[in-house]
Structure 1
Amino acid sequence: MSRNGTRLTTPSEEYYLYNVLEVQKSTGFDDLGGVKTSMAVCLLAVFTMVYFALWKGPQSSGKIVWVTATAPYVILTILLIRGLLLPGARNGLYYYVTPDFEKLKDPAVWSAAATQIFFSLGPGFGVLLALSSYNDFNNNCYRDAVTTSTINCATSFFSGCVVFSTLGYMSLLTNRPINEVVGEHDASLIFIVYPQALATMDYSCFWSLIFFIMLITLGIDSTFAGIEALITGFCDESRFLTKNRKWFVLVICIVYYFLSFPAISYGGQFVIPFLDEYGVSLSVLFIVTCEMIAVCWFYGIDQFSKDIRAMLGFYPGIYWRVCWMCSPVFISIIFIMTVWNSSFKPIQMASYTFPWWSVALGWVLRMLSVLPIPIFAIIYVLSGTGSLTDRLKWAITPQQRRHSATSLAADPTQIIDSSLLDPVHTLTPV
């Protein structure tokens, strides 16, 4: 809001922008203004905790996750109860559950929804694959998949109720529509609007304390999973790294720490939107599209169902098989719409336009994550024999691998069920 050309700000916005971030020390994406010392110290503390949570693998991280994964639910429940008792909470909840079907015509909404579910649930990032690889072969992955997906969606809805009950209160307090309560900054809801609402409540220090404890546990928990996926992938390919996991995890945490410096610089408010635009949505959609096509069409639903039967003792139902068959189509459509609507113009914020070279840098960042797939596919096809058609057919055809008792004895680290001594189809990378 503005008066006589001057924009009015709240105390929480003033404190967050000019005291916490100190955005006045940066002029733009091409002048980040150096790293903020206090944030560097806080980030060091975070990665120290991350290191000691991951250095022994699931033995250490599993214990920490019991706290970081459950504490947010306790705090969300407390905040929801408090939010429902606030005046205006009913209006916020009504706005939250009232659908706007016109939004379905916007491809950006579908892309954002797909990206959000991938980010929150984990497919495409390697997190689920990495963590599930520590399970026993006969672990009930069907139950785990349904439970995880249900909890994820229920958590999103639950947290939405917490947020919009408070937004309804802020709407009544500021006499503004709910859709105008959140400001122009991406972090406005978490670090400006919500703290401002908490500051107006009785015992505001208590509510603020538990709210930011929740944010810290959520952030650390997400960091655990993301780094563990990377560590597991490398350790699975190298016995040397597995034996020296503590040192490898230390190196990874140090690299992550220093690579995070641009985000904690005085111009971090420009880095975060840039990474959000070019580092996530399109890349993860492409990766997931390739995964779905490889598993559901190249590998085949029948072979995939046989693998599940070898693990669980029963075939998946017809509902799941139809969903798996159709999912590559829907994911591909969303990916194509996202590419079609991708802007090749610099990112525009409320009062700032990114430099023209940021577009080229952004697409380089995107290509770094997606190019390994087509490059490996080309190399794999070229490694075959015969005509190009024969090579393509060979590349997308599952190859059989026989696990013999001799090979198991030679490599006792293979944890394979006895039923796999028969020929089993394994997925050929493409």
Structure 2
Amino acid sequence: MFILLAILIRALTLPGSLDGMLFFINPDFSKLLNGQIWVEAAFVAFNTLGPGWGGLMMIGCHNKFNYNCLKASLISSMAVLLIGLFNGLVVFASAGVMAHEAEVPVDSVVTSGGFSIGFVSYPKALSFFPLPQAWCVLFYLVLILPGIDSLTVMMEPFLLVLEEMFPKFLKNKRIALLAVTTIATFIIGIMFVTQAGGYIFILGIWYIGTWNIVLICLLEAIVFGWVYGCNRLDKDIQMMLGRPIPAAVRICLAFIIPIFLSTLLTISLATYRTPTFGEYDYPGYAAAVGWCITLSTLTPGIGYAVYTLATQKGTIIKRFKTSLRPTNDWMPAKADCIESWKKDNYHNSRMSWRQMFLYNLKGRSRNSASSTFTMEEQDSLKMYT
């Protein structure tokens, strides 16, 4: 933040910076009618906030049982939004300075996303500073440190999955596993510093964090909202926080998110185009490689689903229904809550699709007797939040 603030202050002392900032806060609203703009904005939001990658779930599993995750998610999301807006002001202030020197419109300076921002706009802005080499070192150090931090969050779920899949071989061998994984990712990353690195980077960004992540989040919303059910999720949250899910969150989970993500996937696939990098259009085989990358992230989940169905007994319909139910190990992590949870467990909370729809839409009535917690129990739970 201090580096960004220093860049902004320096940019404001140069001609053209205000033009760039005005260009940022006065967008062309007619472009909002373009569906592709919404698709790309949604993909950027997914990559920025990080849902569907597994890292947020991994961090959440280390929280206390009664940790107020809703408040934390709102605070972190607002922080990301505000930092993004501030970052946009800095970028376009720098772009305005460059546009003034080149005597060209501001929109012709920054023509692509984060790649050009990190390696074109900011280095150019730092060239106006005294001792620009030192500022560039500090700036890229600022880029590297959050990059390592975010990579740690993304890598930890992968390591945990390996440890749970092969407990006999990997038990108490985290250092060796981390060393092998680090070396492997380092070797893979060498291709990004070659002359074709920029093209490979754009190809990966185009396919890795787009359709697959949106599809994963869509399935998560359907599973929690309709398979497991907001009624059971309500009771679980009430056990943890002493109150049910807010109505806005429940409606978003059950209706708005599935509809929005389904529409997003439909529009993005209907308007699909091969990636571009500047004036370079990627050939057909590059697009095929990209789709293989997309499918590679979905294959393990699909394969495990097929394996689960194959190992169940009965007809295919019975296997499917059984596979959608939690196992006997599914219960609260806090031992004091297990008995209370068993009073109204998964099997005693089944609803028809009509009942589920009405519950997801209206929620539990205040006078409902289906709650398994007395007022005294709820008051005691609120002490932890």
Q: Answer yes or no: same fold by TM over 0.5.
A: yes
Match of 1:330 among 260, 277, 295: 260
Matches within 5 A, 1:298-377: 298-326=227-255, 327-343=257-273, 347-377=275-305
Quick one: distance in 1 between partners of 2:309 and 2:84?
42
Quick one: distance in 2 between partners of 1:311 and 1:392?
30
Letter in 2 for 1:332: S
Quick one: distance in 1 between partners of 2:41 and 2:265?
12
TM-score of the pair, normalised by structure 2: 0.80
Q: Is 1:279 paired with 2:222?
A: no
Q: Secondary structure at the match of 2:282?
A: coil
Q: Kindly indicate whether the alpha-carbon contact (under 8 Å) linking 1:86 and 1:166 is maintained by their aligned counterparts in 2.
A: no
Q: Is 1:268 paired with 2:197?
A: yes
| Counterpart for residue 56 of structure 1 | none
Please give the per-residue CA displacement for 1:165-186, whole angstroms capped at 9, x wherever unaligned.
Answer: 2112222222111110136797
Deviation at 1:102, TM superposition (A): 2.8
Deviation at 1:375, TM superposition (A): 3.3
> Can you give the 5+ residue segments of structure 1 that lack an aligned partner in the other structure?
1-72, 404-413
Please give the per-residue CA displacement for 1:134-168, whole angstroms capped at 9, x wherever unaligned.
Answer: 22222221221111111111111121111112112
Quick one: distance in 1 between partners of 2:160 and 2:198?
32
Quick one: distance in 2 between partners of 1:212 and 1:143?
32
Deviation at 1:202, TM superposition (A): 4.0
Deviation at 1:307, TM superposition (A): 1.3
Q: Is 1:215 paired with 2:133?
A: no
Deviation at 1:125, TM superposition (A): 0.8
- Are residues 315 and 233 of structure 1, via their aligned partners in 2, closer, same or farther at CA, if it must alter by over 3 Å? same
Matches within 5 A, 1:27-426: 73-182=1-110, 187-240=115-168, 241-326=170-255, 327-343=257-273, 347-397=275-325, 415-421=333-339, 422-423=341-342, 424-425=345-346
Deviation at 1:358, TM superposition (A): 1.9
Q: Kindly indicate whether the alpha-carbon contact (under 8 Å) linking 1:399 and 1:425 is maintained by their aligned counterparts in 2.
A: no
Quick one: distance in 1 between partners of 2:116 and 2:321?
52
Letter in 1 for 2:213: V
Letter in 2 for 1:315: P
Letter in 2 for 1:143: K
Deviation at 1:336, TM superposition (A): 1.7
Q: Kindly indicate whether the alpha-carbon contact (under 8 Å) linking 1:115 and 1:280 is maintained by their aligned counterparts in 2.
A: yes
Q: Kindly indicate whether the alpha-carbon contact (under 8 Å) linking 1:278 and 1:363 is maintained by their aligned counterparts in 2.
A: yes
Q: Greater shift after overlay, 351-360 or 266-275?
A: 351-360
Quick one: distance in 2 between partners of 1:380 and 1:182?
49
Q: Secondary structure at the match of 1:138?
A: coil
- Are residues 393 and 239 of structure 1, via their aligned partners in 2, closer, same or farther at CA, if it must alter by over 3 Å? closer
Quick one: distance in 1 between partners of 2:303 and 2:113?
38
Q: Kindly indicate whether the alpha-carbon contact (under 8 Å) linking 1:130 and 1:233 is maintained by their aligned counterparts in 2.
A: no
Quick one: distance in 2 between partners of 1:416 and 1:202?
57
Deviation at 1:293, TM superposition (A): 1.3
Letter in 2 for 1:420: I
Quick one: distance in 2 between partners of 1:269 and 1:176?
26
- Are residues 317 and 400 of structure 1, via their aligned partners in 2, closer, same or farther at CA, if it must alter by over 3 Å? farther
Quick one: distance in 2 between partners of 1:355 and 1:191?
25
Letter in 1 for 2:35: P
Aligned length: 342
Letter in 2 for 1:133: C
Q: Greater shift after overlay, 199-208 or 86-95?
A: 199-208
Q: Secondary structure at the match of 1:371?
A: helix
Deviation at 1:399, TM superposition (A): 5.7
Q: Kindly indicate whether the alpha-carbon contact (under 8 Å) linking 2:7 and 2:125 is maintained by their aligned counterparts in 1.
A: no
> Can you give the 5+ residue segments of structure 2 that lack an aligned partner in the other structure?
348-385
Identity across the alignment (%): 26
Deviation at 1:229, TM superposition (A): 2.7
CA RMSD of aligned residues (A): 2.6
- Are residues 402 and 153 of structure 1, via their aligned partners in 2, closer, same or farther at CA, if it must alter by over 3 Å? closer
Please give the per-residue CA displacement for 1:70-120, whole angstroms capped at 9, x wherever unaligned.
Answer: xxx232233333333433222212111223333333333222222222212
Letter in 2 for 1:193: S
- Are residues 400 and 340 of structure 1, via their aligned partners in 2, closer, same or farther at CA, if it must alter by over 3 Å? farther
| Counterpart for residue 23 of structure 1 | none
Deviation at 1:275, TM superposition (A): 0.9
- Are residues 397 and 194 of structure 1, via their aligned partners in 2, closer, same or farther at CA, if it must alter by over 3 Å? same
Deviation at 1:129, TM superposition (A): 0.9
Please give the per-residue CA displacement for 1:15-63, whole angstroms capped at 9, x wherever unaligned.
Answer: xxxxxxxxxxxxxxxxxxxxxxxxxxxxxxxxxxxxxxxxxxxxxxxxx
